[in-house]
């Protein structure tokens, strides 16, 4: 549910972009920077906040992050000023940086070694649920009642989440001083840097298309079906994370490479046939399938490589991931303004091909072949 809240807070503007732009009296490209502001807050905060809270008990730290979502989504819902909205989105991103920095390590501490990959897949299931159900429902709610109602509804679910965490989630102590690693030591760990490079290229490509899915859908005459496209994407992503959860402990490397190949194929098809609605719909479904398990695959690879530095490594993933979201929002906005939405898939194709090449080469420590260790 925390992952669901973070992802929905991050991506909801993608489905509400025209409504937000109209309500705040700005262009769609400028409204898209509400996604960028969130991403910037996350990438700035994730590493320092995760490092600062390494010694803190996990449950109060998690509750602090969730309370941040409640406060700043509520401000977003009531703000009538674009710059205040951007500020609220930035600080919601700060809360996200803290949440993502601790979630992976939190989930893995709840289970034995042989179940750590699967536990992470379960913990990450909030991502495709947010994409498959949250964003389409939020888009529908925004169309029916206004985009502010969608953000207020999210605040209501966050109150429920706070109560649920207080009631049910087990607490764990922070890391002891002898277990804590420095940021530099984690970054220098073999395998971490190739994983971060793959994340930046892959997620920049993804967010160019996802943030501006509404204007891209117009090319194929699907502008009135953006909610259904997002629903199809999310349902496919659910299937992708299920497959990843079943197979991640046995064939992590193969899953990552197949996911990237799928995205490359989708980008090529959309580049060649951007106005064909059948290709667009099929491409979105395959895209969702290839993307669904990405978070689990990449975080599992990182956690395996990082050892005791798992929380800081996850904070680095969060930082780079949200740097990619920001880059996707900025690059996508520039492409939309100067080259049109039909330029999106070509940029996506180039970036996803780079990610595939890096992952293909990085087999020693980053994306190891064969079954994972159960240690």
Inform me whether the pLDDT recorded for 371 exceeds 80: no
pLDDT at 139: 77
Inform me whether the pLDDT recorded for 95 exceeds 60: yes
Whether the CB-CB separation of 97 and 42 falls below 8 Å is answered with yes
Average pLDDT over residues 179-192: 77
The 3-state secondary structure of 122-180 reads HHCCHHHHHHHHHHHHHHHHHHHHCHHHHHHHHHHHHHHHHHHHHHHCCCCCCCCCCCC
pLDDT at 278: 94
pLDDT at 181: 66
Whether the CB-CB separation of 311 and 54 falls below 8 Å is answered with yes
d(CA 53, CA 36): 25
Inform me whether the pLDDT recorded for 374 exceeds 50: no
User: Model confidence over 229-241: pLDDT tens digits?
Assistant: 888 888 888 888 8
pLDDT at 131: 66
Q: How many residues are listed for the chain in this entry?
A: 375
User: Model confidence over 251-309: pLDDT tens digits?
Assistant: 888 999 999 999 999 999 999 998 999 999 999 999 999 998 888 888 888 877 877 67
Taking domain 2-361, whether its CATH number is 3.30.450.20 is answered by: no
pLDDT at 164: 94
Inform me whether the pLDDT recorded for 174 exceeds 90: no
Query: What are the residues whose beta carbons fall under 8 Å from the beta carbon of 292, sequence distance 6 or more?
Result: 127, 128, 236, 237, 238, 239, 240, 241, 242, 243, 244
d(CA 2, CA 68): 12
pLDDT at 132: 66
Of all residues in the chain, what percent carry a pLDDT higher than 90?
A: 33
pLDDT at 348: 94
Inform me whether the pLDDT recorded for 56 exceeds 90: no
pLDDT at 74: 95
In 169-309, where does DSSP find H-type helix? 183-188, 192-211, 213-218, 226-272, 277-292, 294-306
Q: Following CA atoms 11, 14, 20, 21 in sequence, which dihedral angle do they give, to the nearest 10 degrees?
A: 140
DSSP 189: S
The larger pLDDT score, comparing residue 148 to residue 54, is at: 148
Whether the CB-CB separation of 313 and 51 falls below 8 Å is answered with no
What does the angle CA 186 – CA 107 – CA 322 come to, to the nearest 5 degrees? 55
pLDDT at 116: 74
Average pLDDT over residues 170-187: 74
Report yes or no on whether pTM surpasses 0.75.
yes
What does the angle CA 112 – CA 100 – CA 162 come to, to the nearest 5 degrees? 90
Burial class (CB within 10 angstroms; exposed 0-12, middle 13-18, buried 19+) of 8: buried
Most confident of 16-30, 230-244, 275-289, 325-339: 275-289
User: Model confidence over 102-154: pLDDT tens digits?
Assistant: 887 788 788 877 777 778 778 877 876 776 677 777 877 888 888 898 899 99
> Please, what is the average pLDDT of the chain?
85
Per-residue confidence band for 349, with pLDDT thresholds at 50, 70 and 90: very high
Whether the CB-CB separation of 195 and 298 falls below 8 Å is answered with yes
Average pLDDT over residues 159-163: 96
pLDDT at 375: 42
């Amino acid at each position: 549910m925390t992952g669901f809240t973070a992802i929905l807070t991050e991506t909801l503007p993608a489905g509400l972009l025209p409504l937000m732009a109209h309500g705040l009296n700005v262009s769609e490209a400028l409204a898209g920077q509400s996604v960028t502001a969130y991403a910037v807050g996350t990438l700035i905060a994730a590493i320092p906040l995760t490092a600062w809270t390494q010694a803190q008990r996990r449950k109060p730290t998690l509750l602090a992050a969730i309370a941040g979502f409640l406060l700043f989504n509520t401000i977003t819902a009531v703000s009538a000023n674009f710059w205040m909205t951007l500020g609220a989105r930035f600080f919601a991103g700060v809360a996200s940086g803290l949440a993502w920095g601790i979630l992976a390590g939190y989930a893995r501490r709840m289970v034995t070694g042989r179940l750590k990959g699967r536990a992470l897949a379960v913990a990450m299931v909030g991502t495709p649920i947010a994409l498959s159900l949250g964003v389409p429902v939020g888009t529908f709610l925004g169309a029916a009642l206004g985009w502010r109602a969608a953000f207020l509804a999210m605040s209501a679910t966050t109150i429920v989440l706070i109560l649920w965490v207080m009631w049910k989630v087990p607490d764990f102590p922070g890391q002891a001083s002898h277990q804590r690693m420095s940021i530099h030591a984690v970054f220098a760990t073999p395998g971490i840097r190739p994983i971060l490079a793959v994340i930046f290229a892959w997620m920049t490509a993804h967010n160019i298309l996802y943030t501006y899915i509404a204007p891209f859908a117009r090319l194929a005459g699907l502008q009135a079906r953006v909610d259904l496209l997002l629903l199809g994407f999310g349902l496919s992503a659910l299937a992708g994370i299920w497959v990843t959860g079943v197979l991640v402990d046995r064939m992590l490397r193969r899953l990552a490479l197949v996911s990237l190949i799928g995205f490359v194929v989708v980008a090529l098809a959309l580049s060649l046939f951007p106005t064909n609605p059948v290709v667009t719909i099929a491409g979105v479904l395959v895209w969702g399938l290839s993307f669904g398990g990405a978070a689990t695959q990449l975080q599992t690879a990182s956690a395996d490589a990082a050892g005791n530095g798992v929380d800081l490594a996850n904070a680095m993933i969060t930082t780079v991931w949200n740097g990619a979201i920001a880059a996707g929002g900025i690059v996508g906005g520039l492409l939309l303004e100067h080259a049109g939405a039909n330029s999106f898939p070509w940029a996506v194709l180039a970036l996803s091909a780079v990610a595939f090449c890096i992952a293909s080469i990085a087999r020693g420590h980053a994306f190891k072949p064969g079954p994972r260790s159960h240690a």
